[in-house]
Amino acid sequence: TAGPIAGYSFAGKTDPQIVFELMARAGLPRSDVAPRLPEVFERYCARLAAALDPGNTRLMPGVREVLATLAGRGDIALGLLTGNIRAGAEIKLAAAGLAGRFAVGAFGSDEEDRNRLVPVARARARELWGEEFPGTRTVVVGDAQADIRCARAGGAWSVAVASSKTPKAELAALAPDVLLDSLASPEALTALVAADG
């Protein structure tokens, strides 16, 4: 079953959360859906890989440049926190030409609740780099209200970027630590570096 998706918002949700919520709308209890998640995600990833064309995959303005600059600094550790399951995230990163850009990650396949992903990311960063990333040493950058909530739940800085998915006013309502119109402006890089403190 596909589940009724009319009016459903995917913004900021983890892949498992999306599946469970859509299937609940279709009348399927969690207990019936949970054992089939591996099969669901296997099919999802196969279709995702077939659907994403690297030539037509676009990044938000400024993403590639900001990542390159931050990675080149040497004093900033780049990690990925996403609601996507790991396999889906890897497919999307490859299609966008960003495979290998992030040394660590926390994914929807790690925790269904996005608000529990910051500790996962921190633990993996600590394991890889041998140091702690408490408080404002962890910065969550995102374009959804859920990203701001996730940062808060994990005690991290939140940098919200307005996008076609979430207007600036909706992000501002949650008072992120930094609110940007775009990552393409010079202020974006300054804000991200300052946030890392």
Count: domains in the chain: 1
- The answer to whether the CB of 12 falls within 8 A of the CB of 151 is no
* Domain-embedded: residue 32: no
Has residue 128 been placed in a domain?
Answer: yes
| pLDDT band (50, 70, 90) for residue 6 | confident
pLDDT tens string 34-88: 999 999 999 999 999 999 988 778 888 888 888 888 888 888 889 999 999 999 9
State the pLDDT at residue 189: 65
- Asked whether residue 35 is domain-assigned, the answer is no
Examine residue 11 and state whether it is found in any structural domain, yes or no.
no
Helix (H) or strand (E) holding 138: none
CA angle 176, 62, 170 (to 5 degrees): 30
Instruction: Look up the domain containing 185 and give its range.
Output: 56-196
Closest alpha carbon to 160 in 173, 146, 174, 178: 178
pTM of the model: 0.88
3-state SS assignment for residue 164: coil
* 7 in any annotated domain: no
User: 31: burial class by Cβ within 10 Å (0-12, 13-18, 19+)?
Assistant: exposed
pLDDT tens digits along 128-187: 999 999 887 899 999 999 999 999 999 999 999 988 778 899 999 999 999 998 888 766
Q: Does a structural domain hold residue 42?
A: no
DSSP 10-38: -TT--HHHHHHHHHHHTT--HHHHGGGHH
Q: Please, what is the Cα angle at 111 between 108 and 116, to 5 degrees?
A: 110
CA 58/CA 186 separation, integer angstroms: 20
**Do the domain assignments include residue 12?**
no
107 domain residue, yes or no: yes
- Confidence class for position 1, pLDDT limits 50, 70, 90: very low
We report the CATH number of the domain holding residue 81 as: 3.40.50.1000
